[in-house]
Amino acid sequence: MTAMRMMPGVPHDLGATFDGDGVNFALFSAHAERVELCLFDDGGHTETARLTLPEYTDEVWHGYVPGLKPGQLYGYRVHGPFRPEDGHRFNPNKLLIDPYARELHGTIAWDPAVYGYVLGTEEDADLTLDEQDSAPFMPKGVVSDFGLDARRPAAPRVPWDRTVFYEAHAAGLTKLHPSVPEELRGTFDGLGQRAIIDHVKSLGVTSVELLPIHAFADDHRLEDLGLRNYWGYNSIAFFAPMGRYLGRNGLASFRDMVRAYHDAGLEVILDVVYNHTAEGNERGATLSFRGIDNFSYYRTMPDAHRYYINDTGTGNTVNTSHPRVLQLVLDSLRYWVEVMEVDGFRFDLGTILGREPHGFDPRGGFFDAIGQDPVLRKVKLVGEPWDIGPGGYQVGSFPPGWAEWNDKYRDTIRGFWKGENGLLRDMAARVTGSGDIYDQRGRRPWAGVNFVTAHDGFTLADLAAYEERHNEANGEDNRDGHGHNLSINFGAEGPTDDEEILGLRRRHTRNLMATLLLSHGTPMLLAGDEFGNSQEGNNNAYCQDNPIGWLNWDEIGEEGEAMTRFVQDLTRLRAGNAIFRRAGFREEVVLRWLNPAGGDQEEEHWDDDLARAIALFMVCPEATEGFSEALVLFNASENGVSFTLPEREEGRAWSVQVRTEAEGGDPVEGAVILGPRSLMVLA
């Protein structure tokens, strides 16, 4: 190994920081006894130097190597007690990923050496110490000088009440797109291609929400099955992008993609996973945090620190109650905003971040830190307000300034259009912004992110074609994924040539899409729903990095093009008429729910479990944008329903703006016949 000189350096900037003359290395570990920096050749195969970090300040180990340049590959070996029963799992035989690494070289190879214990089936196997060197099987950090651009272009800053999310997979969106050069498909370069951006822009959405792009691990079990992690909810480095998504210009390819979307007036939102890591439970691998300071980074059982609190369902839970771990998350978020220029975040299992030792706390350290941060408090923040821990379901409980995924909206709207009983009252609340949940502490209707489909579950087309999940390709005997999907197949499971069934499916998907885009709140579309993308009935395609999980652009056809135009018409209607996207619960919009006879909905109507037809009459006398009056007619019954329409002043008449029936009559003498399972918008 090369003899190199190491100076004390500074503890303030964690990670590997290039200053023009050398690199400062700083690593937090409260319980380590010694930290070694390992340097590697350009291929990452040969360790060229091993240096002990000479200083320990405020629980940070640090040192400075003069002459070191960007591009240098590195990792850490951390010495300390191996006492799993006390929560300590130090093992210097294991090369560890720097939590602050900006880029990773290579991927994890699932050799037994990457485990900190001797693999075995014995109950106490994790109490053994494995002495194999894991370096040949581990990715290495890359020293980077990619930093903030002081000349960064302005971001779109889309107002919340005009926001429409488009949830997409960074690679799956382009893998099969015929207009994206084959060598760019599945990369950030491909994602930034004009054909992709033009399509997204044409839909009338404002903000692309990307599934996780932080570096993640391809699960050992999946690789054994010939599969790999596709969705990416298995993070192992919070600053580094996933290597296989990087384009020709490395880290710059991500920021170039973001700027291309900004040039088109579109925001880029990242789905981030700070609630757990890829290291799993006590029988997981030692890749980074576990070997650096297991007891600080993870929540362990109070009376048995060998075991992890598993509020995430993944084996471990990141301990954001620890100030240094909280700092890691905040530093990561600021990096993606300031350096990579993203516009906001959706937090997977977001309740975990608000968990304190006593439980979920909307005034906990994480939320308080975000709210006071001059960078982060200005970006879009969306929480997934649930986890599997005690009291983990917290829809409506996030602090002001946050939006939340609203699964009550999803389930109610799916159930209503399927024809479930007793949902009229709940449906009315969801369509008008879920004020029963969000009308508190000055929160606005936009705080509820409405969706009927997302990456997790059936696509919109499959929601109308399958009543059972078909996840056999996942290798779990079709036991994974949701079993209760509120889906309907209209008489045939999967593909069919029956025109009557196909017509019902088209109407069902249009009903769901129209309800979503004309409800108050923030709508989110799943990429591909605009043209009928199918996953062949797989409602848990987390491991399908193949045509099952990718968007099938070649199969759009005339029906897909018609559905795309329908979506475009709806987003134009929403954008041009504030009455469909009221900015606050106190706005001067009068809402009246009418029964088909034209009268106000009374208690006996609300309490009728079999009622499936209702009208929403919205009046905004002082409207400065678009219609001053609008009427949305809903009929989820099997029969046509005659609706008596509110009377108009002489010379004014109702005009049909949207109908989900293939054909339908215009209003005649104050009434309209709405066909079975259909929706109509009048203005």
Residue closest to 8 by CA, chosen among 57, 76, 69: 57
- Residue 348: both structure tokens together: 């997977």
In the sheet with 104-105, reading across from the earlier edge strand, the strands are 47-52, 34-40, 73-79, 140-142, 104-105
Q: At 449, which helix (H) or strand (E)?
A: strand 448-450
Burial (CB count within 10 angstroms: exposed 0-12, middle 13-18, buried 19+), residue 34: middle
- Residue 225: both structure tokens together: 């099955």
Tens of pLDDT, residue by residue over 69-106, are 999 999 999 999 999 999 999 999 999 999 999 999 99
CA separation, residue 327 to residues 365, 393, 483 (Å) = 11, 25, 38
| Report field, pTM of the whole predicted structure over 0.85 | yes
Q: DSSP secondary-structure letter at 64?
A: E
Percent of all residues in the chain with a pLDDT value above 90, rounded to a whole number: 93
Q: How far apart are CA 15 and CA 469, in angstroms?
A: 44
Tens of pLDDT, residue by residue over 418-452, are 999 999 999 999 999 999 999 999 999 999 999 99
Query: What SS3 string covers 172-221?
Result: CCCCCCCCCCHHHCCCHHHHCCHHHHHHHHHCCCCEEEECCCEEECCCHH
Residue 421: what residue type? N
Residue with tokens 């990307």: 210
Would the CATH topology of 15-143 be identical to that of 590-682? yes
pLDDT score recorded for residue 623: 76
Residue closest to 442 by CA, chosen among 399, 395, 404, 408: 399
Q: How far apart are CA 237 and CA 141, in angstroms?
A: 10
Q: DSSP secondary-structure letter at 323?
A: H
> In this structure, are residues 549 and 456 in contact, taking their beta carbons and an 8 Å threshold?
no
CA separation, residue 521 to residues 291, 384, 390, 574, 581 (Å) = 44, 16, 28, 11, 7
Q: How far apart are CA 386 and CA 658, in angstroms?
A: 35
Q: How far apart are CA 525 and CA 568, in angstroms?
A: 12
pLDDT score recorded for residue 303: 93
Q: At 403, which helix (H) or strand (E)?
A: strand 403-405
- Residue 69: both structure tokens together: 């340049």
Positions in the chain short of pLDDT 70: 1-2, 664-665
Residue 449: what residue type? V
One of 3.30.360.10, 3.40.50.1220, 2.60.40.10, 1.10.580.10 is the CATH number of 15-143, namely 2.60.40.10
Tens of pLDDT, residue by residue over 510-552, are 999 999 999 999 999 999 999 999 999 999 999 999 999 999 9
The residues carrying an active-site annotation are 348, 384
> In this structure, are residues 256 and 193 in contact, taking their beta carbons and an 8 Å threshold?
no
Q: Which CATH class is domain 590-682?
A: mainly beta
pLDDT score recorded for residue 184: 98
> In this structure, are residues 170 and 188 in contact, taking their beta carbons and an 8 Å threshold?
yes
Which residues contact residue 308 at a Cβ distance below 8 angstroms, ignoring those fewer than 6 apart? Answer: 281, 282, 298, 299, 300, 301, 315, 316, 317
Q: How far apart are CA 52 and CA 62, in angstroms?
A: 9
* Chain CA centroid to CA 563, Å: 24
For the chain, which residues make up each domain, given as ranges? Answer: 15-143, 590-682
Q: How far apart are CA 626 and CA 576, in angstroms?
A: 6
* Chain CA centroid to CA 13, Å: 29
CA separation, residue 303 to residues 30, 82, 127, 160, 308 (Å) = 21, 18, 17, 45, 11
Taking residue 407's Cβ as centre, other Cβ atoms within 10 Å add up to 16
CA separation, residue 629 to residues 78, 517, 523, 588 (Å) = 67, 17, 21, 12
Q: How far apart are CA 667 and CA 647, in angstroms?
A: 12
What beta strand segments (E) does 19-93 contain?
22-28, 34-40, 47-52, 55-57, 60-66, 73-79, 82-83, 88-89
- Residue 547: both structure tokens together: 């045509």
In DSSP terms, 668 is beta-bridged to: 671
